[in-house]
Chains A and B, each alone.
Chain A
Amino acid sequence: MSVLSISVRPNRMTCWVLSWFLFAAGICLYLYTAQKRHKENPDDRVVPTLAQLGAGIYQAAMNPDADEEPAADSAGQSALERFRNGMLWKDTVASARRFLYGLALLFPAVLLGLHMGIFPYFGVFFLRFILFFDKIIALSVLPILFIAFGIDELSKVMLIVIGVTPTIILDTFNLTKSVPPEQVVKGFTLGARDFDVAYRVVLKQIWPRVLNSIRLNLKPLMLFLFAGEMIASTDGLAYRIALLRRHMGMNIIIPYVLWVALLLFLVDLTMRLLNKRLHPWFREA
């Protein structure tokens, strides 16, 4: 049967091999390119070898930032202590803190979208403005944010607000509108009041889809966070990547990029599993 047939069902082994093939091909291509470039120029820093990458990961994970004062008793520290003082951990914590602020701000956005969808006056009042707000390119207002809010945390959080919350608000609004009117009427006939219908009927039904929407917006959220960190920050994963770019520190940049991807993948996976476990009734379309 042709591989382009719609009705073909690959077996388990084929699925496994095919799904990992591009990863393996990418790694092979990288190693080949690194080897080739290093043959031509042993001091090449653009495509580091595996050994250079290993050294870079060790340096990032176990050594503090070069600008930091080394701890007095750094020689006697355990591996765990060295890791926790290392720049990778500190940068991760700094970025994670901002990421969580951004994530927390999405929940009021969900409530606003819900109210806009349920209560007509809310909808009329906010919808046009949010639709306009959604069209503003967040990065284009970055200079304004830095002028208005300074270059500290607030401007970065505001960047996330401008970049991601309108999408979440509009998505929640649309999800709310997609709840069959029969369900709302049913709620009223069972003695529910307006807020009961909003929170106990509609929000509960759309919640798994809202979580999915938030999941799909994690990448834009990180994008805006990284933009803020790259331009104005003294710590964080994106700050480090931007800093190392000046020194052509690809042996650390590449592990940082993969680390960010892994973290985001784990957050996404956790949310997906939690969603499945908390809402066994929910079937994704």
Chain B
Amino acid sequence: MVPGSLADTGAAPVLLDAEPATDLLIRLEKIHVSYELADGACKKVLDGIDLDIRRGEFVSVIGRTGCGKSTLLRLVLGAERPTEGRVLADGREVVRPDRDRGYVPQKYSLFPDKTVIDNITFGPEVEEFSLLTRFTPLFYRRRKEFRAEAMRQLRRMGLHGSDAKKYPDQLSGGMQQRVAIAQALVMKPKILLMDEAFSALDPGTRTGMQKLIRQVWRETNTTVLFVTHNIAEAIQLGTRVVVLAKDGAESSGSKVALDLRVPDRAEEFAEIAERVEAATGHSHLDEEE
């Protein structure tokens, strides 16, 4: 038996109460993902994942390194296709990334060749104007509106107007992620997918970013799928925590080991953290801090 596996911890998946189907935004049905290795062997990553995400939820996905958290996020994003099963977004099968699903990765979250303001206006501009129509008078009129909206988003993220003309490499890691969130939110996506978005930040900046994303989630009511390997972060941010873990040999794929709602009361966090810790096999509450 593999230490830290579901069977080892004895934690049983907690089923969520049934909610109205109309609230359902993302559905993962019997998802299996496996890769063929160079030696011809098959490596299972995800093994029969069933997961529903409802509108307005803030879902934190947590698990050990290599358990398939990012793969799960990329499936929802449409950047990867499952070997078996299907991913549905608003009832339609996800086949490729589109504007309904915003994306904030850990690295390369901004276009390096564009200034902050151009990064944020990129989405609205590219959506409304093709390569040819962007040289029309209408484009320049609309561009002013896009820029005004981008500046609003920038201030909302706590950045200054003077940052608008900077290039990404002139910003700190935290500022870059703020811009990346603004860039995604300006498209008003149905779900915001964040892949270890704060992992590269120092603890102080990370706390600030956690507060910010929680505030943005409250204000916009955007559904968030947040992948992290930090248990404290997952519990503090999420309204729901999903733990991915292998339930058998190391060669098997990950399953949903735990799926539970996070209560509002902070007193219960420690108890939840213990359960998450047990399910993931983490030896500390937060191995980073």
- Residues of A participating in the B interface, judged by any CB pair closer than 8 Å: 180-183, 185-193, 195-196, 199-201, 204-205, 207, 279-283
Interchain CA distance A26-B105 in the complex, whole Å? 55
Question: Known: A191-B187, A192-B126, A196-B130. Contact between A180 and B102, CB under 8 A?
Answer: no
- Tell me what chain B mostly uses at the interface: helix, strand, loop, or mixed: loop
Contact A200 B131 (CB under 8 A): yes
A205 to B124 alpha-carbon distance, docked (Å): 20
Residues of A within 8 A of B229 (CB): none
- B126 near A200: Cβ-Cβ < 8 Å: yes
**Which of B103, B108, B114 lies in contact with A189, CB distance below 8 A?**
B103
B101 contacts across to A, CB distance below 8 A: 189
Residues of chain B touching chain A, judged by Cβ–Cβ distance below 8 Å, are: 77-79, 96-99, 101-103, 105, 107-109, 111-114, 122-124, 126-127, 130-131, 167-169, 183-184, 187, 189
In contact, A196 and B126 (Cβ under 8 angstroms) = yes
User: Given known contacts A196-B131, A280-B167, A281-B167, is B108 in contact with A191 (CB within 8 Å)?
Assistant: no
Residue of B nearest to A199 (CB): B131
Query: What is the bound-complex CA distance between A204 and B114, given in angstroms?
Result: 9
Q: Is the CB of B98 within 8 A of A281?
A: no
Chain B nearest Cβ from A275, distance in angstroms = 13
- Among A189, A192, A196, A280, find the residue whose CB has the most chain B CB atoms closer than 10 A: A189
Question: Quick one: which of A181, A188, A196 contacts B96, CB cutoff 8 A?
Answer: A188
User: Known contacts A186-B109, A201-B111, A204-B113: does B169 contact A283 (CB below 8 Å)?
Assistant: yes
- For residue A280, which residues in chain B have a CB less than 8 angstroms away from its CB? 167
Look across to chain B and name the residue whose beta carbon is closest to the beta carbon of A189: B103
Contacts of A204 in B (CB 8 A): 111, 113-114
Contact B189 A189, beta carbon cutoff 8 Å? yes
CB pair B169 A190 closer than 8 Å: no
Give the CA-CA distance A189 to B76 in the complex, in Å: 12
Cα–Cα distance between A185 and B167 once the two chains are bound (Å): 20
Within the assembled complex, what's the spacing in Å between the Cα atoms of A186 and B196?
Answer: 15
Max chain A Cβ within 10 angstroms of own Cβ: one of B97, B113, B131:
B113
Contacts of A180 in B (CB 8 A): 107-108
